Structure 1
Amino acid sequence: MNEWNLPWEGGCRCGQVRLRISAPPLLTMACHCTGCQRMTASAFSLSAAIPTEGFLVTKGEPVIGGLHGSTRHYFCPYCMSWMFTRPEGLDMFVNVRATMLDDASWFTPFIETWTDEKLPWASTPAVHRYPKFPDFSDYEGLTAEYAKKAVRPAAR
């Protein structure tokens, strides 16, 4: 855990919602789906899958935005920054938008998802690419590989 220089702090653009990460990411990713493109007003979203027990909102009350279905996207109620997602049926992790971290300079996506919807010019240094999502059976190997090869934040 020390090699990850935890805990990390983060928050929305206006500072009304703050969060703390106390467990290393299971995986980092860039999602190219058109939904993420629209919610970020960019070519893709960046996220780190954080074990649920290592994620805590320390200030404020985020609200559900984006789509209001069973996958829940959480936003600051004031500045509307998209902060994190709790994917449907996957309660073991929270997808934190990497740029919500106070220091995201170390972040590199390890996988890219929904590349069949990506903008032609958009590219990342991700090691693995998937037209949609990886098969569920692939995640164990991906998380093990990520744990060994991932870029870690520099010591503070």
Structure 2
Amino acid sequence: MPSIPLPLKGACRCGCVEIEVSKPPIATAACHCPGCQKMSSSAYSMTAIIPADGFVVTKGEPVIGGLHGQDLHHHFCGHCMTWMFTRIEGVDWFVNVRPTMLEETAWFRPFMETFTSTKQPFAETGAVRSFPEFPAMEELGPLMKEYQAWVEARD
């Protein structure tokens, strides 16, 4: 897996909203939940879990879209409606960034896949770890360490 060329710049499809990632992900994933399937119009969505202090919107004002739930806040470009990133209410230490928004994506590989219980039969991600739902919050620390070891072994 190629090294991550930080900082990573990115934008929505139309360019009205731009983002920048200045810290490497603490994990990467593919999510097979029905909501991600619908919002991505695909078999799964991809995410790079970025430390919150390593992510910034540099241009434009994203809008909340998707579920409009109390816990998940999906951020979209208000013009082209591209799903760009997600924040979880009460979890202020990371942001789930859609890696396809970034100009450079060769480094991205999903380390884990979630919600395999609703996975499309043909969908393959190449992920190292699989979970029938989302892992419990207490599992995230050990998973992040495992992800870091996986990245270092691939460099």
Q: How many residues align?
A: 151
SS at match of 1:43: coil
Task: Determine if contact 1:86/1:94 at 8 Å carries over to the other structure.
Answer: yes
1:57 aligns with 2:61: no
Gaps of 5+ in 2: none
1:62-101 alignment runs, 5 A limit: 62-70=62-70, 71-101=72-102
Partner Cα separation in structure 1 for residue 4 and residue 34 of structure 2: 32
SS at match of 1:67: coil
Look up the equivalent residue of 1:12 and give its one-letter code. C
1:114-153 alignment runs, 5 A limit: 114-150=115-151
1:25 aligns with 2:31: no
Q: What residue in structure 2 maps to residue 42 of structure 1?
A: 42
Deviating beyond 2 angstroms after TM superposition, the runs of 4 or more aligned structure 1 residues are: none
1:77–1:43 Cα change, 3 Å: same
Q: What residue in structure 1 maps to residue 16 of structure 2?
A: 16
Partner Cα separation in structure 1 for residue 5 and residue 37 of structure 2: 31
Look up the equivalent residue of 1:5 and give its one-letter code. P
Deviation at 1:5, TM superposition (A): 2.5
Deviation at 1:138, TM superposition (A): 1.6
Partner Cα separation in structure 1 for residue 152 and residue 7 of structure 2: 16
Look up the equivalent residue of 2:140 and give its one-letter code. Y
Task: Determine if contact 1:112/1:129 at 8 Å carries over to the other structure.
Answer: yes
TM-score computed with the length of structure 1 as normaliser: 0.92
Look up the equivalent residue of 1:102 and give its one-letter code. E
Look up the equivalent residue of 2:23 and give its one-letter code. A
Gaps of 5+ in 1: none
Deviation at 1:72, TM superposition (A): 0.3
TM-score computed with the length of structure 2 as normaliser: 0.93
Which piece of structure 1 moves more, 29-38 or 139-148?
Answer: 139-148
Q: Identity across aligned pairs (percent)?
A: 54
Task: Determine if contact 2:8/2:22 at 8 Å carries over to the other structure.
Answer: yes
Partner Cα separation in structure 2 for residue 93 and residue 142 of structure 1: 14
Deviation at 1:133, TM superposition (A): 1.0
Deviation at 1:151, TM superposition (A): 7.4
